[in-house]
């Protein structure tokens, strides 16, 4: 047994919320208490390396994507400064000219003339009045194919070499491949339907991000942020045994510092019955550090990309007065209930991406219909993102037994744009309404959606507690929640939605000894300093895992 004294242990367990030390044996918590109390359990080795640190349950990121690590194989061109897995900080690109300059620099250094140039993180909403189009990218190269994924992951922009190569200008108009006044595609490709039209570029963009090095970087970035359980929320290739074997090899390696729950995204794979059988079968392949057996749907797009589905009054008009339309359905709304029924009937957990409130209506209608036909206690079906979810929808979620995983980080990364550009001052204050969810009694977690925004649970909590935007606004002061509520959401709240709260998410006897190790106490610092608390690293199954640069 190992006894870890600490400056404080916050357990997220009501029975004993605070303690001085924790006793661990064979990867699990034996007891929490004072050092003297823990001595009563018998002989233990004292490990006092955390004597001046604060221990919390290891953070649980219930909505992330494994490409957070691998996307650095491509060139970053987002608005915010961002650190890569090696700790190098890439400065943000604050104009289309800066995007073009960065891509030109990379293009010049590329040796293989036939290799495509991939980039990511672009967010045109920060460049008012000007969208990145093929003509801009043609200034980087007219010959090399260029594919720039937007920060939301729901849109890409390509150059004319791609438009010509893939024959995008041929055939009838297509809403996923918008055209300019001259009738030519602008270079923007909307949602998977549009991006898939770029031929092999779309799959090869993702393939490059799923390298072994990228998956390992995902684990390192998690550990550096105090996260001990990750999700890969929506893999489309779990039917491939090689993909599963690679995950197994990586997570079986004791040096890989996180547990990973991988959800199946049924968007592209075979028949429904076949997919249900596959996911049920995959549960048998789960291990202590690797979980299969859950499903993730994607119903709509992103709000900042104007591809999410919104209830009236929908989007603000564009600066020229034109209508923004109302996004795209990624699953036909009248098919959602049947698809849910298939997975629900097999006893599976289904999370659904719903950014817009119209998408939430469709998912809740589906849950209600499915539960009417096939009641099932404790299903924990979860609405992911919930960005515009309204008070009536939260009350309905509570009645249906559904959970909310709220995209709290959006308030920082896009809050000003939601206020000024997408939905306006009123609804932007109601977005990511964690306080309303809690008031309605809906089980809550919150997320960063890495790689959309960087892995960082303390940042997620900071956003929900302060609701500050980069311009200094407090966006929706009445939707702020307490530090304790936020920390609950990123630990036991997230574990609950992964059906793992009997194993992880709090520090109590019998649970896995997974801890976030912090330099300061989140309950004592100024709430505005929450995101700046240093992270020493984690403890995973009783084994200390120092962050890069710590020991
Ligand atoms: Zn996501």
| Among the listed residues 215, 210, 265, the one whose alpha carbon sits nearest the alpha carbon of residue 239 | 265
Q: Are 422 and 475 in contact (CB under 8 A)?
A: no
The answer to the question of residue 495 being in a domain is yes
> 72 C-alpha to center of ligand 1: Å?
17
> 40 C-alpha to center of ligand 1: Å?
46
> 3 C-alpha to center of ligand 1: Å?
38
> 69 C-alpha to center of ligand 1: Å?
14
The answer to the question of residue 46 being in a domain is no
Whether residue 145 is found in the same domain as residue 239: no
The answer to the question of residue 28 being in a domain is no
Q: Domain span at residue 383?
A: 210-538
> 65 C-alpha to center of ligand 1: Å?
6
> 153 C-alpha to center of ligand 1: Å?
8
> 108 C-alpha to center of ligand 1: Å?
33
What is the predicted pLDDT for the residue at 206?
87
Residue pointed to by tokens 């359990």: 41
> 357 C-alpha to center of ligand 1: Å?
17
What is the predicted pLDDT for the residue at 173?
80
307: phi then psi, degrees, rounded to nearest 5? -110, 0
Whether residue 457 is found in the same domain as residue 351: yes
What is the predicted pLDDT for the residue at 212?
92
What is the predicted pLDDT for the residue at 458?
98
Whether residue 76 is found in the same domain as residue 214: no
Report, as ranges of residue numbers, the positions in the chain whose pLDDT lies below 50.
none
Q: How far is CA 150 from the centre of its chain?
A: 15
Q: Domain count of the chain?
A: 2
> 150 C-alpha to center of ligand 1: Å?
13
What is the predicted pLDDT for the residue at 129?
76
Q: Is 165 helix (H, G, I), strand (E, B) or coil?
A: helix
> 234 C-alpha to center of ligand 1: Å?
8
> 125 C-alpha to center of ligand 1: Å?
19
The answer to the question of residue 58 being in a domain is no
CATH code of the domain in which 164 resides: 3.10.310.70
Q: Which residues contact 258 (CB under 8 A, 6 or more apart)?
A: 218, 219, 222, 223, 227, 228, 229, 230, 289, 540
Q: Is 110 helix (H, G, I), strand (E, B) or coil?
A: coil
CA distance 84 to 521: 27
The answer to the question of residue 395 being in a domain is yes
pTM of the model as a whole: 0.94
> 298 C-alpha to center of ligand 1: Å?
9
* Residue where a domain stops, chosen among 165, 190, 207: 207
Burial class for 401, CB neighbours closer than 10 Å (0-12, 13-18, 19+) = middle
Whether residue 160 is found in the same domain as residue 262: no
> 301 C-alpha to center of ligand 1: Å?
10
Whether residue 190 is found in the same domain as residue 170: yes
Q: Give pLDDT tens digits for 185-231.
A: 999 999 889 999 998 999 999 888 889 999 999 999 999 999 999 99
Whether residue 288 is found in the same domain as residue 421: yes
485: phi then psi, degrees, rounded to nearest 5? -65, -40
Whether residue 166 is found in the same domain as residue 244: no
Whether residue 450 is found in the same domain as residue 520: yes
* Residue where a domain stops, chosen among 177, 207, 237: 207
> 384 C-alpha to center of ligand 1: Å?
8
> 446 C-alpha to center of ligand 1: Å?
12
SS3 content of the chain, % helix, strand, coil (to 5): 35, 20, 45
> 409 C-alpha to center of ligand 1: Å?
12
* CB-CB neighbours of 447 under 10 Å: 29
> 64 C-alpha to center of ligand 1: Å?
6
Whether residue 178 is found in the same domain as residue 221: no
The answer to the question of residue 551 being in a domain is no
What are the strands of the beta sheet with 117-122, ordered from one edge? Answer: 75-76, 117-122, 146-150, 155-158, 188-190
Whether residue 425 is found in the same domain as residue 499: yes
| Among the listed residues 385, 406, 377, 296, the one whose alpha carbon sits nearest the alpha carbon of residue 343 | 296
Q: Which residues contact 80 (CB under 8 A, 6 or more apart)?
A: 92, 413
Whether residue 187 is found in the same domain as residue 216: no
H/E stretch holding 190: strand 188-190
CATH code of the domain in which 388 resides: 3.20.20.140
Whether residue 347 is found in the same domain as residue 482: yes
The answer to the question of residue 377 being in a domain is yes
The answer to the question of residue 224 being in a domain is yes
Q: Are 519 and 53 in contact (CB under 8 A)?
A: yes
């Amino acid at each position: 047994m190992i006894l870890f004294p600490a400056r404080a242990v916050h357990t997220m367990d009501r029975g004993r919320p605070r303690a001085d030390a924790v006793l661990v044996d064979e990867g699990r918590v034996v007891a929490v208490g004072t050092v003297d109390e823990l001595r009563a359990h018998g002989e233990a080795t004292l490990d006092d390396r955390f004597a001046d640190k604060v221990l919390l349950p290891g953070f649980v990121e219930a909505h992330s994507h494994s490409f957070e690590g691998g996307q650095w194989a491509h060139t970053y061109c987002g608005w915010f400064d961002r650190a890569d897995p090696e700790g190098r900080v890439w400065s943000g690109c604050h104009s289309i000219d800066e995007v073009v300059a960065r891509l030109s620099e990379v293009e010049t250094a590329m040796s293989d003339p036939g290799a495509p140039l991939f980039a990511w993180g672009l967010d045109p909403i920060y460049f008012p009045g000007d969208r990145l189009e093929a003509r801009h990218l043609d200034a980087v190269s007219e010959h090399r194919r260029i594919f720039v994924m937007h920060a939301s992951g729901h849109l890409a922009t390509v150059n004319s070499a791609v438009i010509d190569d893939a024959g995008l200008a041929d055939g009838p108009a297509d809403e996923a491949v918008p055209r300019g006044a001259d009738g030519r595609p602008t270079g923007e490709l909307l949602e998977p339907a549009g991006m898939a039209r770029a031929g092999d570029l779309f799959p090869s963009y993702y393939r490059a991000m799923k390298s072994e090095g990228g998956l390992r970087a995902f684990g390192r970035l998690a550990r550096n942020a105090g996260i001990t359980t990750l999700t890969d929320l929506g893999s489309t290739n779990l039917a491939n045994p090689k993909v599963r074997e690679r995950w197994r090899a990586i997570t079986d390696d004791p040096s890989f510092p996180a547990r990973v729950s991988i959800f199946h995204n049924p968007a592209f794979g075979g028949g429904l019955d076949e997919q249900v059988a596959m996911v049920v079968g995959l549960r048998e392949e789960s291990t202590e550090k690797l979980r299969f057996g859950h499903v993730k749907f994607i119903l709509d797009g992103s709000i900042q990309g104007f591809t999410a589905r919104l209830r009236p009054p929908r989007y603000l008009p564009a600066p020229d007065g034109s209508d923004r339309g109302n996004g795209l359905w990624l699953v036909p709304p009248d098919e959602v209930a049947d698809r849910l029924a298939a997975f629900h009937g097999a006893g599976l957990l289904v999370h659904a991406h719903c950014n817009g409130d119209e998408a939430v209506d469709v998912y809740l209608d589906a849950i209600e219909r499915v539960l009417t036909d096939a009641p099932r206690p404790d299903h924990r079906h979860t609405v992911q993102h919930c960005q515009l979810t309204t008070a009536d929808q939260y009350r309905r979620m509570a009645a249906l037994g559904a959970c909310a995983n709220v995209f709290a980080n959006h308030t920082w990364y896009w809050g000003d744009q939601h206020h000024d550009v997408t939905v306006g001052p009123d609804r932007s204050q109601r977005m990511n309404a964690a306080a309303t969810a809690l008031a309605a009694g809906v089980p809550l977690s919150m997320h960063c959606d890495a790689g959309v925004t960087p892995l960082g649970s303390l940042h997620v909590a900071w956003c929900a507690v302060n609701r500050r935007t980069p311009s200094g606004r407090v966006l929706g002061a009445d939707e702020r929640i307490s530090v304790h509520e936020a920390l609950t959401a990123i630990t036991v709240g997230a574990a609950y939605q992964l059906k793992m709260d009997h194993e992880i998410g709090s520090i109590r006897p019998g649970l896995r000894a997974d801890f976030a190790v912090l330099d300061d106490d989140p309950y004592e610092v100024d709430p505005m300093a929450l995101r700046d608390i240093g992270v020493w690293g984690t403890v995973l199954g009783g084994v200390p895992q120092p962050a890069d640069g710590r020991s």
